[in-house]
């Protein structure tokens, strides 16, 4: 046999092997055999659970999954989600037959929640099926029972009408799933559990974090195609107008200096005493984490405390000259000190402290957004007074906001990079914040 033929046969053989491997992976991605545990006959509109215990557990599963934050309190959808590829609207998941999911069977529901395959084709990963794939059959059965108690709402939603071509083609998500979707259930670490009683708590925490709570969807960076970056697990991710910070055990950029009680308190109240949740995290606390049982909040804390540090370099301070420092201090005292304190001490549980708060030193996205658009702490059962911050967009231009934030990020022991006027300008345009008011003299 000639050398050319040998090469041709070798290439062909490799192509066949690659094809077999690719087909096998595609089969794994598309496999919905786990959903066969669900009923495949009765549609949601015709199902009304009478199992009060299952309904109660299902409501708790809904809280763990933070369904209300995106699908609205009525579950009729329409909540807008901005993505780099266009705007999505959340679907109507009430039992309405025409505009909701009333025609779904339990198995259809399992496929939608855990495999991202809905009535209209493949779902976009803004619906975090990539994490919900880890949810147990028991939680899914209970969630189905709870959904049967929902009031049908007739509300038609054009879910991907804001997506531009070719991103509005749902079938393209098959390729995305092939590249990034891990279609496997949760597997507890049983080997360590036998030797360590605390592993039960850690495994429960990992199940919540990686499954229903879908923490990595926000707190892990994504590549240009929207897939989670390998090696960046829970080390911080951009949400466009907001930034989900590093929640690894890094002492500089993460929550390495938080105790388990600090983490549990933050989940239940929206504050660890220094930081206060705002933006999407405030919504998560308000709709989801405040409802966690004390044991589950501690389980999440136990899991996060065992994560390794992201080992990111410590933030570098920006050297402010004496005049800038003095001007920053005066501007801060006039505009910020009434709430945040003269020494950046904040108000415990209500207003973020600047002193000794790692969040003030890292990515400045959230600080810029709060200055331009204001912010609000979550309203929770334990903390009824949800403090709010007003917008300063009307009062300060881009340079002034940049200067005051640079001062805050480099005072009271903080060391952070400079905030630039260009960064503020970008955020002002991105969020549609108002321009500074101006007066013209005659």
Whether the predicted model's global pTM rises above the 0.85 cut? yes
Residue-level pLDDT at 11:
53
Q: Are 430 and 368 in contact (CB under 8 A)?
A: no
Q: Are residues 198 and 117 in the same domain?
A: no
426 is in an annotated binding site: no
Q: Domains in the chain: how many in total?
A: 3
Residue-level pLDDT at 29:
60
Q: Are residues 285 and 371 in the same domain?
A: no
Q: Are residues 344 and 419 in the same domain?
A: yes
Whether residue 34 is contained in a domain is answered as no
Going from the first residue of the chain to its last (442 residues), give the mean pLDDT of each consecutive group of 10, the final group possibly shorter: 60 55 54 84 96 98 94 89 85 94 96 90 90 97 97 90 80 84 87 66 96 96 89 92 93 90 96 92 96 97 92 83 92 94 91 89 94 94 87 95 95 92 96 86 50
218 is in an annotated binding site: yes
CATH code for the domain of 250: 1.10.760
219 is in an annotated binding site: yes
> Tokens 């803004």 belong to which residue?
126
155 is in an annotated binding site: no
Range of the domain at 342: 322-431
**359: Cα separation from own chain's centroid:** 17
Whether residue 408 is contained in a domain is answered as yes
340 is in an annotated binding site: yes
How many CA atoms, within 13 angstroms, populate the side-chain half-sphere of residue 228? 24
Among 305, 332, 365, residue at a domain's last position: 305
Helices (H), 31-155: 52-65, 67-71, 106-115, 129-132, 137-147
With residues binned 3-state (H G I as helix, E B as strand, rest as coil), the percentages for the chain, rounded to 5, are 45, 10, 45
Q: Which residues, 6+ apart, have CB-to-CB distance to 52 below 8 Å? A: none
Element (H, E) at 246: strand 243-246
25 is in an annotated binding site: no
Whether residue 1 is contained in a domain is answered as no
Residue 205 Cα distances to 258, 263, 339, angstroms: 16, 12, 35
214 is in an annotated binding site: no
Q: Which residues, 6+ apart, have CB-to-CB distance to 371 below 8 Å? A: 391, 392, 393, 396, 401, 404, 405, 424
Whether residue 371 is contained in a domain is answered as yes
Q: Are 433 and 391 in contact (CB under 8 A)?
A: yes
Q: Which residues, 6+ apart, have CB-to-CB distance to 13 below 8 Å? A: none
Among 116, 147, 178, residue at a domain's last position: 147
Among 263, 279, 305, residue at a domain's last position: 305
Residue-level pLDDT at 72:
84
CATH code for the domain of 416: 1.10.760.10
């Amino acid at each position: 046999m000639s050398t050319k033929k040998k090469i041709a046969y070798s290439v062909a053989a490799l192509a066949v092997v690659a094809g077999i491997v690719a087909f096998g992976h595609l089969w794994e991605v598309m496999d919905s055999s786990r959903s066969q545990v669900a009923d495949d006959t009765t549609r949601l509109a015709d199902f009304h659970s009478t199992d009060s215990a299952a309904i109660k557990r299902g409501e708790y599963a809904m809280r763990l999954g933070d369904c209300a934050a995106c699908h609205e309190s009525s579950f009729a959808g329409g909540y807008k989600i901005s993505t780099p590829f266009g705007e999505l609207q959340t679907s109507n998941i009430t039992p309405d037959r025409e505009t909701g999911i009333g025609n779904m069977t339990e198995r259809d529901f399992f496929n939608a929640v855990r495999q991202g395959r809905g009535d209209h084709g493949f779902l976009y990963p803004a619906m975090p099926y990539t994490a919900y794939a880890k949810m147990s059959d028991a939680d899914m059965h209970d969630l189905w029972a709870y959904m049967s108690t929902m009031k049908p709402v007739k509300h038609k939603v054009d879910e991907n009408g804001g997506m531009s071509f070719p991103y509005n083609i749902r079938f393209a998500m098959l390729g995305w799933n092939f590249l990034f979707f891990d279609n496997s259930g949760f597997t507890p670490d049983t080997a360590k559990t036998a030797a360590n009683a605390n592993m039960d708590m850690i495994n429960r925490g990992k199940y919540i974090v990686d499954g229903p709570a879908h923490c990595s969807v926000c707190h892990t960076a994504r590549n240009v195609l929207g897939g989670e970056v390998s090696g960046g697990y829970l080390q911080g991710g951009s949400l466009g107008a907001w930034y989900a910070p590093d929640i690894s055990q890094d002492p500089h950029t993460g929550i390495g200096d938080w105790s388990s009680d600090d983490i549990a308190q933050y989940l239940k109240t929206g504050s660890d005493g220094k930081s206060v949740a705002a933006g999407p995290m405030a919504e998560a606390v308000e709709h989801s984490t405040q409802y966690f049982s004390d044991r589950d909040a501690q389980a999440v804390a136990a899991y996060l405390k065992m994560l390794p540090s992201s080992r990111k370099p410590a933030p570098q301070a920006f050297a402010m000259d004496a005049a800038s420092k003095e001007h920053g201090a005066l501007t801060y005292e006039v505009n910020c000190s009434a709430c945040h304190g003269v020494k950046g001490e904040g108000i415990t549980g209500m207003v973020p402290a600047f002193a000794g708060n790692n969040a003030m030193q890292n990515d400045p996205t959230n600080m810029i957004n709060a200055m331009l658009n204001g912010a609000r702490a979550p309203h929770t059962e334990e903390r009824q007074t949800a403090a709010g911050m007003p917008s300063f967009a009307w009062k300060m231009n881009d340079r002034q906001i940049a200067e005051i934030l640079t001062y805050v990020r480099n005072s009271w022991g903080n060391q952070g990079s400079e905030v630039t006027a260009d960064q503020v300008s970008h955020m002002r345009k991105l969020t549609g914040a108002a321009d500074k008011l101006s007066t013209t003299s005659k």
